[in-house]
Structure 1
Amino acid sequence: MGLTRDEESNTYVTDNNSKLSFLRYNSPFVQIILIGLVCFCCPGMFNALSGMGGGGQVDPTVANNSLTALYTAFAIFGILGGAIYNILGPHITLIAGCSTYVLYSGSFLYYNHYHHQAFAIIAGGLLGVGAGLLWAAQGAIITSYPPANKKGTYISIFWSIFNMGGVIGGLIPFILNYHRTEANSVNDGTYIGFMCFMSLGVLLSLAILPPSKVVRDDGTKCTHILYSNVGAEALEILKLFFDWKMLLIVPAAWSSNFFYTYQFNHVNGSLFNLRTRGLNNVLYWGAQMVGSIGIGYIMDYSFKSRRKRGFLGICVVAVVWSCIWGGGLANQLRYTSSDITEKLDFKASGSDYAGPFLLYFGFGLLDAMFQSMVYWVIGALADDSEILSRYSGFYKGIQSAGAAVAWQVDTHKVAPMSQLIVNWVLTTVSYPLLLILVLLAVKEDNRAEEEPA
């Protein structure tokens, strides 16, 4: 199986004759694949749904209000999620989290027929609770399970599998609504398709092992703690708000989902018709796979020094960010002087479609690069699952608070140009703070390079 137990030291040692030890069920590689599949089915499909703008409805009001409830609850349970994960373990945490995605998609199926906002808003709030649990578990797994010198690679593997959910999820509304270019909302089959995938994610979550049972190829475990308790976790969560490392991450966390409102509603939702929005989603989430792989390589293999890799990764993302949002500014200037009278169609609009589409594709590329980079920085702060579950939960909680504000900003009809400028400024502020964090808190990894998986 690749590992044997040393009875004297009561630890596992690598069997160097096994070239497939990374395929052990209890290896970090296999567990990263599994959590990627869980997120493929649940948040991946959710991303495809929300990425259409307005949750697939022509009027984004119900989706905006539902997402505000979602991210408000997410902000609270994202921060608490790490503690809950440490107490309950992955199975209960993930099952509870994944189940709420099914309910959320079902609420839009209900809205298609009855046009009552209440169910969608309540389902959004419950999904906020569930998403907080799921993403705290996910963050702990992808930052603590991999070996220190391969965290960027493993994060990019996860991000690629997860965003394949957005690709497949984008195909669902594209195919099922291909001939409905003038429809007000996607059809029932679209929401039912999302619900089927999300239900599969609930079942797949049973395959995730707790960190105490996951063994790296060098024989180390992801944590030596078998369980935690409420009092200890409450104290550790409180400490996060006074931890200078977490305070430096706050601007990056706040801005990292803030831009979705502008991208989904004022680029994809405003400029394109229904079927083209579905196609754009396929390529938006496909771009995320490319972005995560590229930045993962830089963060792991560009230099031997971990700090230098961190510096380079942050600087690359900052440059790409400025270029793409510069394109966003140029695109937005085209639409500030007059209302959009005709939606773009990928078949009928010709060259007019190309520019806005490439911008939306670039936004997807940038999102994955930015978030993978931040996860790498968080993962470089520690190796233990118990610590990193709290760090990841804090990141997701602040991220969700920012998203809750962003969706309400849009509900109150703040001008798209103002939203664009705020997004650009918020994220730009985060880069020098992340550089300081890498300089002061990230330790060099002097361990010998392991065999490549």
Structure 2
Amino acid sequence: MIVTCPLFAIAGNRFSLKWVLVAGTIGYVPYFAALYCNSVYGTQWFLLLGSVTCGFSAAALWVSEAAIAVGYPEPENRGTYIGIWMALNKLGSVIGNAVQLALNIDASSKGSISPKTYLVLIGLSCGGLPLALTVAPAHKLIRKDGTKPTFSSDENRISLKEGLKGFWRATKQKYMLLLIPIFMTVRWSQTYQGNYLTEYFSVRGRTLAGFVQTLVGIVATVLWGWLLDSNKIFRTRRGTALAGWLTMVAVFIPQWVLNFVMQTDLQKQSPTPSLDIYDPGYGKAIAAYCLFGVGSQASVVWTYWILGTYDIHVDVLAYTTGILRSFESLGFAIAFGIGASSNVSLMANLIVAFVVFWLSVPFTTYASCLVREPNPASADPINKDIQDDPERDLPPKLPQIQEHADDLDYHPESRA
């Protein structure tokens, strides 16, 4: 996914984000089927095949859904729609966790989840394809206010060569280079969270914890998206970006403190505890886990929102969200490698996640200060053409006006 996310971003501008989204819904069904077969029959080859199909589909899905969620809405409502998108993303987790909790309600000890859980996931994944087919292509989209998404190019389908050039231009932007650290660390802690649940909770204990954290995350994403769009709290876009980021940093501070306290307490206990839903320390333990979810989900909403403040063109957003997803996958892969090592303790895993996050803070803060106020003229593709090339008499989208000017023997003066 580190490599394929940028490729699918380029493909989205060449073949339409809609069809990349459709492709992203196909590979999950074989993957969940492979998990079921591996759990019940011990099949290995199918699991490898399913992992490959899931990897390609996940890259296509991640890039296309992100570009659509950021580029399709009106700029003034972008945060709200990103929050709704992330909430819908979590809605599947709510259903999945609810089913897991029902199937594993009697599993009061450690172990794996019921294989029937994978059958439910297969059914949910089958609904993705028909829903993806209902999404409108970007060039045919008409927003609620009557406006249409804008593009940096006049072509409906950008060639692969131009796509590579556009992707490289997006990568070299100063704000993108500054945001790479937070892209890598925004989901870094998920590896620790997963190991934390597996190590210290029973099956139904961690299932309930996942269910509660998902619900809390949904509320956090929707609320945070709405706050980013609110003009009553923050008067300027730069102020919104900076205040939003610093607020998240303030949320992360008690999160880290509580998780270090819980990790220190749990690792001292012998034997290793298996917290169940009726145990006295269960509430405090999942509170630390849920607080992790609040900070993580809010920061994800913010990272996508801020990309839309730098450039509003859908084709450019496809590149920048592809870059985000690529480095997000890189950070997740490194974190997973550290977490999977038997030589790395959970405390060491937590310390690494803590350090890499705080290393990203100064770069992200600087990137927040680079946000500019929206320029209505730059959002108009006609005005953009004139600004980009002042030597052109008229934008290419209005050849009929040039023809009428020729008939009237009109010759415009050159403009510097």
TM-score by length of 1: 0.78
1:418 and 2:345 are equivalent in the alignment? no
1:317 and 2:244 are equivalent in the alignment? no
Name the counterpart of 1:41: none
Name the counterpart of 1:35: none
Unaligned runs of 5+ in 2: 377-416
Q: Contact between 2:184 and 2:332, CA under 8 Å: does it hold in 1?
A: yes
Take 1:282 and 1:405, find their aligned partners in 2: how far apart are those partners? Answer: 26
Name the counterpart of 2:386: none
Shift of 1:79: 2.0
Counting only pairs closer than 5 Å after superposition, residues 37-436 of structure 1 correspond to structure 2 as 74-182=1-109, 184-224=111-151, 225-266=155-196, 268-301=197-230, 302-338=233-269, 340-347=271-278, 349=279, 351-413=280-342, 414-436=344-366
Shift of 1:241: 3.8
Take 1:333 and 1:180, find their aligned partners in 2: how far apart are those partners? Answer: 26
Take 1:118 and 1:318, find their aligned partners in 2: how far apart are those partners? Answer: 44
Take 2:245 and 2:43, find their aligned partners in 1: how far apart are those partners? Answer: 44
Name the counterpart of 1:36: none
Shift of 1:218: 4.2
Take 1:143 and 1:159, find their aligned partners in 2: how far apart are those partners? Answer: 11
Shift of 1:299: 1.5
Counterpart residue identity of residue 359, structure 1? A
Secondary structure of the structure 2 residue equivalent to 1:335: helix
Take 1:218 and 1:192, find their aligned partners in 2: how far apart are those partners? Answer: 42
Counterpart residue identity of residue 317, structure 1? M
Counterpart residue identity of residue 211, structure 1? A
Shift of 1:354: 1.0
Shift of 1:237: 2.3
Counterpart residue identity of residue 352, structure 1? G
Take 1:171 and 1:139, find their aligned partners in 2: how far apart are those partners? Answer: 26
1:45-67 CA distance string (max 9 Å, x none): xxxxxxxxxxxxxxxxxxxxxxx
Identical aligned residues as a percent: 25
Are residues 87 and 294 of structure 1, via their aligned partners in 2, closer, same or farther at CA, if it must alter by over 3 Å?
same
1:70-106 CA distance string (max 9 Å, x none): xxxx111122221111112133212221111112211
Secondary structure of the structure 1 residue equivalent to 2:336: helix
Take 2:374 and 2:318, find their aligned partners in 1: how far apart are those partners? Answer: 21
Take 1:211 and 1:340, find their aligned partners in 2: how far apart are those partners? Answer: 57
Are residues 215 and 101 of structure 1, via their aligned partners in 2, closer, same or farther at CA, if it must alter by over 3 Å?
same
Are residues 298 and 183 of structure 1, via their aligned partners in 2, closer, same or farther at CA, if it must alter by over 3 Å?
closer
Secondary structure of the structure 2 residue equivalent to 1:99: coil
Stretches (4+) displaced over 4 A? none
Shift of 1:294: 2.6
Take 2:172 and 2:304, find their aligned partners in 1: how far apart are those partners? Answer: 20
1:294-334 CA distance string (max 9 Å, x none): 32233221212111111110010001011111110111111
Take 1:186 and 1:159, find their aligned partners in 2: how far apart are those partners? Answer: 25
Take 2:375 and 2:16, find their aligned partners in 1: how far apart are those partners? Answer: 31
Are residues 227 and 216 of structure 1, via their aligned partners in 2, closer, same or farther at CA, if it must alter by over 3 Å?
same
1:233-273 CA distance string (max 9 Å, x none): 1222233443322111111111122111100122x221111
Secondary structure of the structure 1 residue equivalent to 2:89: helix
1:152-182 CA distance string (max 9 Å, x none): 1111121222212111111111101112334
Shift of 1:416: 1.1
Q: Contact between 2:185 and 2:357, CA under 8 Å: does it hold in 1?
A: yes
Shift of 1:336: 3.1
Are residues 421 and 101 of structure 1, via their aligned partners in 2, closer, same or farther at CA, if it must alter by over 3 Å?
same
Q: Contact between 2:217 and 2:294, CA under 8 Å: does it hold in 1?
A: yes
Take 1:217 and 1:111, find their aligned partners in 2: how far apart are those partners? Answer: 47
Number of matched pairs: 371
CA RMSD of aligned residues (A): 1.9
Secondary structure of the structure 1 residue equivalent to 2:146: coil
Take 1:437 and 1:340, find their aligned partners in 2: how far apart are those partners? Answer: 46
79-88 vs 363-372, which moves further: 79-88
Take 1:143 and 1:83, find their aligned partners in 2: how far apart are those partners? Answer: 16
Are residues 185 and 116 of structure 1, via their aligned partners in 2, closer, same or farther at CA, if it must alter by over 3 Å?
same
Q: Contact between 2:110 and 2:274, CA under 8 Å: does it hold in 1?
A: no
Shift of 1:402: 1.1
